[in-house]
Amino acid sequence: MKLRPRSYAICGGAFGDEGKGRIVDMLVHQLSQEGPVVVYRDNGGANAGHTVEFPTGQRVALHQLPSGVFIQGAVVVLGKEMVLHPGDLLEELAQVNQVEATADRAEIKIDEMAILSLDTHRAFEAVLKDWQSGGKGSTGRGISPAYADVLLRHPLRMRDLVHFDEAKVSQHYQMYAALIQGLGQNLAELEVSTLSGPKIKVGTEKEFINRLKQQADQLGPLVADIHDWLAEQWSDHKCGFVFEKAQAVGLDYRWGVYPDVTASDTTFGGIFSATEGVVDPEMIEIKAGVIKATYMSSVGTRKLPTLMKSELADRIRQDAHEYGATTKRPRDIAYLDLPALRFFQKVGRINTLILTHMDVIYADQPVKVCTAYKLGKETVEYRPDQEFLNDVTPVYTELPSWDAKKLAAAQKYDQLPKEAQAFLKLISREIGIPVMMITTGPQREQGIVF
């Protein structure tokens, strides 16, 4: 199969929060210098967090919008299999418009088939979490119930919002009111989160509908049937494409550790269904998994075999701002786990690696890497099963650290410290695919492409 030139897909290669947004921003910026570029996101919703940092030091955490939204000449697409919360999206658009020098930001298109994620979903998720443990891996953003609506054959989509099908919206409210009443609570009185922080009541059916009508009026100009337009852009090889996945392979509902999984397809396979077959991910030239270089991080109840329980974890957490972009939860810190990364590379169909956080390094600490698991006397590979992971013993290799200042000054591979080069060779050899790029700091220009 012939690969489509100027096409990239970026996913999280571990458990999320690897710095995908910054990589997408950099790629879109480069492609936009050569011609038009489309940035397409196909999964997740307001549970995602992609942080972009500007030269001024200003940091913006994007949630539903792809990272390329700040780049003039790009078109960012919120695809069919995203779950979109209208209120949060309007707040996010307002925040983007407040960033300096974004008067000429990207054009935004929303697929009319994108799924609605509403306050009803958030309320139901909260009630379910109170009732039993089935929601304890959630972010509280109503993602799972919104996806469940699709499987149960009664989803609301963006076109139902902009053409405002009041009968469908009313039926939706009544269904969730009945479900929540069955769990002993009153939907109208429940409070749910907003993007900016303050909680609001879901309200009565009339209040809920009126709020959605106002949001529909504001979002309507961005919503369209994009199928034919997308096919035209994909067939035009002068147009660059960057596909931005939300979350990470280690959070996929099939490949993650329960209950800390998301409800969407976090692998590149999701691009095929979201674009209704327009884009075959096998044709995408670069399918990169982004991982943190010198450590891993995780949010949730999962217990990683390589979890750090030391002052080093606190040091990394503070220096690298290891708090969830969406939830603000402090992340667990672990040593780099190559058996897990090998598994995610295989099931995620990743063909190259991007390593961020190469600058998170300490002269007084070696770089400790898990290269294998032992189960008794047997060497075993990673499995996404907490009971299995509880019983494995990590086998570690220690490598010397490198000079962070020399790393930051490097412009190409052979200028990197020898210790950093040896580390990169080990990672590539153990996972079985090449390293395409590393980052040497938080700014867009602080990176080296090999």
Q: How many CB atoms lie within 10 A of CB 272?
A: 16
Does residue 386 share a domain with residue 272? Answer: no
Q: What is the pLDDT of residue 416?
A: 97
Is the model's pLDDT at 133 over the cut of 60? no
| CATH number for the domain harbouring residue 275 | 3.40.440.10
- For residue 194, how many C-alpha atoms fall within 13 Å in the half-sphere facing its CB? 13
DSSP-assigned states of every residue in 309-338: -SHHHHHHHHHTT-B-TTT-PBPEEE-EEH
Ramachandran angles phi, psi of 255, nearest 5°: -115, 5
Does residue 383 share a domain with residue 256? Answer: no
What's the pLDDT tens digit per position in 333-353? 999 999 999 999 999 999 999
Does residue 296 share a domain with residue 271? Answer: no
In a domain, 223, yes or no: no
Identify whether the C-beta of residue 181 lies closer than 8 Å to the C-beta of residue 120.
Answer: no
In a domain, 68, yes or no: yes
Identify whether the C-beta of residue 377 lies closer than 8 Å to the C-beta of residue 363.
Answer: no
- State the pairing for strand pair 435-439/352-356: parallel
| Total domains, the chain | 2
Is the model's pLDDT at 58 over the cut of 80? no
In a domain, 146, yes or no: no
Measured torsion, CA atoms of residues 231, 236, 238, 243, in degrees rounded to the nearest 10: 20
The CA-CA-CA angle for residues 209, 211, 215, to 5°, reads 115
Does residue 328 share a domain with residue 263? Answer: no
Picking from 272, 288, 304, the residue at the C-terminal end of a domain is 288
Does residue 356 share a domain with residue 259? Answer: no
Does residue 251 share a domain with residue 302? Answer: no
Q: Over the range 239-270, which residues count as b (16 or more CB within 10 Å of their CB) and which as e?
A: bbbbbbbbbbbbbbeebbbeebbbbbbbbbbb
Identify whether the C-beta of residue 1 lies closer than 8 Å to the C-beta of residue 341.
Answer: no
pLDDT grade for 51, boundaries at 50, 70 and 90: low
Report the SS3 class of residue 172. helix
pLDDT grade for 355, boundaries at 50, 70 and 90: very high
Measured torsion, CA atoms of residues 249, 321, 296, 197, in degrees rounded to the nearest 10: -40
Ramachandran angles phi, psi of 135, nearest 5°: -105, 10
Does residue 361 share a domain with residue 274? Answer: no
The CA-CA-CA angle for residues 26, 97, 159, to 5°, reads 90
Q: Which residue range forms the structural domain that includes residue 373?
A: 289-449
Region 257-280 average pLDDT: 96
Residue, of 50 and 428, whose pLDDT is higher: 428
Residue, of 424 and 1, whose pLDDT is higher: 424
Region 141-148 average pLDDT: 94
Distance from C-alpha of 47 to C-alpha of 370, rounded to nearest angstrom: 30
Picking from 288, 304, 330, the residue at the C-terminal end of a domain is 288
Region 137-146 average pLDDT: 80
Q: What is the pLDDT of residue 324?
A: 67
In a domain, 398, yes or no: yes
DSSP E strand boundaries for 143-197 = 191-192
In a domain, 119, yes or no: no
What's the pLDDT tens digit per position in 212-266? 999 999 999 999 999 999 999 999 999 999 999 999 999 999 999 998 999 999 9
Does residue 268 share a domain with residue 295? Answer: no
Is the model's pLDDT at 55 over the cut of 80? no
Does residue 428 share a domain with residue 283? Answer: no
Enzyme catalytic residues:
17, 50
Distance from C-alpha of 261 to C-alpha of 139, rounded to nearest angstrom: 10
Is the model's pLDDT at 90 over the cut of 60? yes
Looking at every residue in the chain, the average pLDDT score rounds to 93
Report the SS3 class of residue 278. coil
Region 418-440 average pLDDT: 97
Q: What is the pLDDT of residue 443?
A: 75
Identify whether the C-beta of residue 12 lies closer than 8 Å to the C-beta of residue 250.
Answer: yes
Does residue 340 share a domain with residue 284? Answer: no
Distance from C-alpha of 430 to C-alpha of 341, rounded to nearest angstrom: 9
pLDDT grade for 102, boundaries at 50, 70 and 90: low
| CATH number for the domain harbouring residue 293 | 3.90.170.10
Identify whether the C-beta of residue 251 lies closer than 8 Å to the C-beta of residue 266.
Answer: yes
In a domain, 255, yes or no: yes
DSSP type of residue 375: E
Report the SS3 class of residue 350. coil
Is the model's pLDDT at 394 over the cut of 80? yes
In a domain, 426, yes or no: yes
Does residue 371 share a domain with residue 282? Answer: no
Does residue 416 share a domain with residue 267? Answer: no
Picking from 247, 266, 288, the residue at the C-terminal end of a domain is 288
Distance from C-alpha of 30 to C-alpha of 285, rounded to nearest angstrom: 16
What's the pLDDT tens digit per position in 59-82? 777 899 998 898 999 999 999 999
In a domain, 391, yes or no: yes
